[in-house]
Chain A
C-alpha cells in the first residue's frame, strides 16, 4: 500500500470506532451531538500519560484512555440516560463543549494549540518513520477487529436486540420489566469506551492533541459518518469512515476552497438515494444477483 493510503486508512479506522459506538445509540433512536467528549478524553489521557509518566506501551496507554472515557460515560450516564431525542442530543453537546472550554482555558495543556504526544512503544520496540506508521496501522486494525467482534456479539444479546423495541415503545418495555434508562446507560458506556479507544489511537497516530478534538464540529463529523454508514451493519461503520476520509482528502486536494461543500453534497446525495446509508448498498448488491437467478 502507498504510504498516503496507510495514513488515511489508519485515521479513518481509528475514527470508525467512534462511529461504531454511535451506531449502538442510533439503533435506539438516540443521536449524541457530543460524542467528541469521549474522543477527546481518550486522546488527552494518552497525551498526559506521555507527558507525566514513563509509560509508553501503546496497549497500556490506549486501554487507559478507553477506561477513563468509559468511567466518564458511566458517571454522566446517570444524567444523560434519562433524556431522549433532541434533549439527549443537546445535553451531550453541552457536556462536550464544557470540556472544550476547560481545555481551551488550561494553559498548562497548551490552550488552543494543544501539545505533542510522545510516540509509543510496541512490546518494547520503538519503530521510526514508515515502520511506525505501519505498526500504528496494524494496532488500529487490531483494536477495530476486537471492537467489531464485540459489538457484533452485543447485537445478538437481549440488550442489543432491545434497541428497536426501546425506540418503538418504551411503555411496553417498562411493563415487560425492562428499565429503558438502564439499557441506554449501558449503551452510553459501550459507546463512550469505543470513542475513548478511537481518540486514544487518533492521538498516537497524529502525535498531537488539541481542544478541537472536543469541539462540536468533531462530534458533527462522527454523526455525519454515521448517517453515511447507516445503522444497518458493523462493517458499515468502517466503510463509511474510510469513504468519508477518502472523499475529504480528495476534496481538499482537488477543491481546496470548497471541500466542505463537496462533503455536504456527498451527504445530501447519500440521504436522498441511500436513506439507510452505505451499508444498505451492500445489501442491495447482495440481493440483486439472487433476484436475477
Chain B
C-alpha cells in the first residue's frame, strides 16, 4: 500500500537558523499521528511545509504520489490536504452556520466542476454544513456570530471548516491549545470521533502526553528540527531521549 504522505530529507533554514532538517517518513492511509516536541522543535514548521505555508529549502513532499513540494497552499488544499491552526482561523463577523457554509460552498466549487459564479445558497451545501455542525457538536451555536464563541468552540469551528472540503489528509496544529484542561479531553473526543467517521489520515500536534497516548496510533517526536523517535505511542513515549528531552518538561505539567 502506498503512503498518503511521503516526506524525504526535508529541511528548512531561516538564514543561519535550522528550523527543520533530515525529516524522512511515510504516513499510510487512515493513520492518526501525534506530533510532540518542545516549543521551537519544528512541529509547526513541519506542518507549514506540508500545507505550503512555507517553502522547504531542501527535500521533497509527496501527497498520494504527487509531488507537492513548495506549491502554493491553495493548490495543496484543492488536492485534498486541509489544516486547522494553533490560533483558530475563523470568520468572526459571520455566524457559525455562515462560516461552515462558506467552507462547504468553496469546497463544492472545487469538486463537481463547480464555478465561483455558481449560487452560494444551495440545498446541498446547506445540508453539508448542517451535517458538519452536527458532527462536531456545534449545531446549537448555529446562529451565533463567530466572534462571540468560547475558545473551545472556536477551535472546533476551525477544524470543522477544514473538514468541510472532504480532505484526505488533515493536519491539526495544537487542536486543544487555549482550551481549558477540563475541556481538553472532551474537545479531542469530539474531534476524533467526527474524524473517524470520515476515515481521514490525521496528523496532530499536541503537548499533552495523555492525549497523545490516548488518541494517536503513532507518535513522531521532534527535537531540534528533526524526528528523534517514531513509533507506536507506548514505545515512542518510553524512549529515553523523548523522556529526557520532551515529556520530562511537558509531561510534568500534565501530571501536576
Contact = CB atoms under 8 A, between A and B. Distances in A.
A176 B165 contact: yes
B40 interface: no
Interface string B100-142: 0011011111100011111111000000000000000000000
Given A175-B74, A176-B103, A179-B74, A169 B116 contact: no
B117 A168 contact: no
Interface in A157-208: 157-162, 164-165, 167-169, 171-179, 183, 186
Interface string A34-48: 000000000000000
A219 to B, nearest CB: 27
Contact of B89 (A157, A158, A172): A172
A175 B82 contact: yes
Contact of B83 (A154, A159, A175, A186): A175
B90 A172 contact: yes
Contacts of A157: 116-120
Interface string B37-57: 000000000000001000000
Contacts of B4: none
A156 interface: yes
Nearest to B89: A172
Contacts of A173: 106
Nearest to B164: A176
Interface string A144-156: 0000000000101
Contact of A177 (B94, B110, B119, B121): B110
Which residue of B74, B119, B162 has the most chain A CB atoms within 10 A of its CB atom? B74
B89 A156 contact: no
B69 interface: no
Contact of A160 (B91, B106, B108, B120): B120
Counting contact residues on chain A (CB < 8 A from B), the size range is: 20 to 34
Interface SS majority for chain A? helix
Interface in B79-100: 82-83, 85, 89-94
Contacts of A174: 73-74, 77
A157 B90 CA distance: 21
A176 B120 CA distance: 15
B204 to A, nearest CB: 16
Nearest to A182: B116
A168 B118 CA distance: 22
Contacts of B187: none
B237 to A, nearest CB: 30
Contacts of A160: 120
Nearest to B101: A161
B107 A176 contact: yes
B121 A156 contact: yes
Contact of B102 (A154, A161, A179): A161
A175 B47 CA distance: 13
A161 B105 contact: yes
Contacts of B253: none
B102 A159 contact: no
Contacts of A165: 91, 94, 102
Contacts of B106: 158, 162, 173, 176-178
A176 B77 contact: yes
A164 B92 CA distance: 10
A186 B117 CA distance: 11
A168 B92 contact: yes
A177 B74 contact: yes
Given A175-B83, A177-B78, A178-B106, A158 B90 contact: no
Nearest to B88: A172
Contact of A164 (B94, B118, B162, B165): B94
Nearest to A176: B106
B103 A168 contact: no
A186 B18 CA distance: 40
Given A157-B119, A158-B109, A158-B117, A176 B102 contact: yes
14 contacts: A156-B121, A157-B117, A160-B120, A162-B106, A164-B91, A169-B90, A169-B92, A171-B85, A172-B91, A174-B73, A175-B74, A176-B74, A177-B75, A183-B116
Interface of A: 154, 156-162, 164-165, 167-169, 171-179, 183, 186
* Closest 9 pairs (CB-CB, A-B): A177-B77, A161-B120, A172-B89, A168-B91, A159-B116, A177-B78, A177-B74, A176-B106, A165-B91
Given A158-B106, A167-B93, 14 more contacts: A156-B119, A156-B121, A157-B116, A157-B117, A159-B117, A161-B120, A162-B106, A168-B92, A174-B74, A174-B77, A175-B51, A175-B82, A175-B89, A177-B165
